[in-house]
Structure formats: structure tokens, C-alpha cells
Amino acid sequence: MQLLKSLNRRYATKKFDATKKVSDDDIALIEEATRLSASSYGFQPYTLLKIENPEIRKQLQPLSWGQSQIVDASHLYVFCSYLDFTEEMVNDYVQKKATIQNIPIDKLDGYSAFMKGKLKEKSKAEMPHWTAKQTYIALANMLAACGELNIDSCPIEGFEPKEYDKLLGLNEKGLTATVVMALGYHAQDDHNFNMVKVRRTRGELIKVI
């Protein structure tokens, strides 16, 4: 199983080789795998920012506990989840579903009403928590895609979300920074590269009831 080989090879890269860049073709594959991720109701209540501007990456580094991956990785993504998911967003999704799947829009009225009703059950505090959880499904697919292509990666939660939000102007767009992903190729002196992976055994992790 290729996925198991990829997962065994994958590790949290702490030091990237800043001279090596991932090809555009590989990036396109990684981004497509991320786009195809599952999400609740298929809403994909998040946006990915691909940070290509080196000056912005330099500004993000001190907001990321000084981690070198922010500036040295070939590519940097910020997963941004919506602070709210509105009825208008549901309407946009239903319209897209009707168009792509060739379904008369009126046939989706009940489905639309159901989804809007379930969203109304979420409090203002619950909503951003729910949208944030969806980003991690997409992050997992991005990690797996990198692994299959022998591209190194590092998911990063060690950053200051509120400061990211300010710098990137996210709140004005109804978004907040949830998790960061750096990818590229490890430096030869990255101390994590040759470390044996530490995981709980299947028996410790999985319980049968």
C-alpha cells in the first residue's frame, strides 16, 4: 500500500533547504488533492492562502515563534476558516450543486432548508470551531499528497492566529487563520529526518467494543 509507505516516510520537517523548489506540476497535484477533500455537507467552509510574497513570509516568521520553515520552505499555505457560514453561502453551494449535477434548483429546496436548519442550531461560539475542524481534513489530504510525491512537509500550529489575522486582513473577509502548512525539501542537517517514528501501537490506539 503506497499510502503506508508515504506515511512511514513522512515526518515534521523542521529545517527546509531554501534553495530547492517544488515543481509547478507537483504543486498542482497537491492543491488538487486538497481541493477534493471531504468536508461537512461538502461546504468547504475555508480558504487557503498561498503565501508567495517573500516580504509577507518574513513578517509572518516572528508571528510563528521564529520558525525557519515559514521563510525557508518552498511553499507556504495558511488554512483560513470562516468565522460564520451564512444562508447566502448555503444558497451559493446549492446553486453550484444544481449546476454541476444537473439538478433542477427547486428539487433541492428541502435539502437547502435542512442544511440551513442544522447550521442555525450552532451557536456563535460553535460555528468557528466547526469550520476550523473542516480545515484539518483538507490539511491531512495535503500531507498525504506531499508524502506520495516524496515532498517534505510540516503542519504548523505554533503561530499567533490573531496576529496572522491582522497582517493578512482576514477578519475583514470573515476568516481566521486556523493552521499553517509548509512544504518543500528537507535540509541535509535537519535533525528530524533520520529519527524513528514514535506512534502508539494499533492495540493501544484502537479499542474494540
The model's pLDDT over 156-204, given as tens digits with 9 standing for 90+, comes to 999 999 999 999 999 999 999 999 999 999 999 999 998 999 999 999 9
Res 47 pLDDT > 90: yes
Residue 72 lies in a domain: yes
CA–CA gap between residue 187 and residue 115 (Å, rounded) = 47
Predicted local distance difference test score (pLDDT) of residue 97: 98
Residue 101 lies in a domain: no
Question: Alpha helix locations (H) across 15-153?
Answer: 24-35, 54-60, 69-72, 87-100, 109-120, 126-148
Percent of the chain with pLDDT over 90: 99
* Residue 202, CA distances (Å) to 83, 113, 199, 208 in order: 36, 42, 9, 11
Among 179, 169, 138, residue whose Cα is nearest residue 33: 138
pLDDT band of 1, cuts 50, 70, 90: confident
Whether residue 50 has pLDDT greater than 90 = yes
In a domain, 29, yes or no: yes
Domain count across the chain: 1
Q: Is residue 117, in this structure, part of any structural domain at all?
A: no
Domain-embedded: residue 71 = yes
In CATH, what number is assigned to the domain containing residue 161? 3.40.109.10
Q: Is residue 114 part of a domain?
A: no
> 96 CB contacts (<8 Å, ≥6 apart)?
none
Residue 107 lies in a domain: no
Distance CA(173)–CA(129), nearest Å, equals: 17
**Is 89 a residue whose pLDDT tops 90?**
yes
Q: Which domain holds residue 44?
A: 2-84+124-205
pLDDT digits (tens, 9 = 90+) for 92-147: 999 999 999 999 999 999 999 999 999 999 999 999 999 999 999 999 999 999 99
Starting from the edge strand earliest in sequence, which strands make up the sheet with 175-184, in order?
46-50, 75-82, 175-184, 152-156
Share of residues in the chain with pLDDT > 70 (%): 100
Flag whether 46 is in a domain: yes
Contact between 123 and 12 under an 8 Å Cβ cutoff? The reply is: no
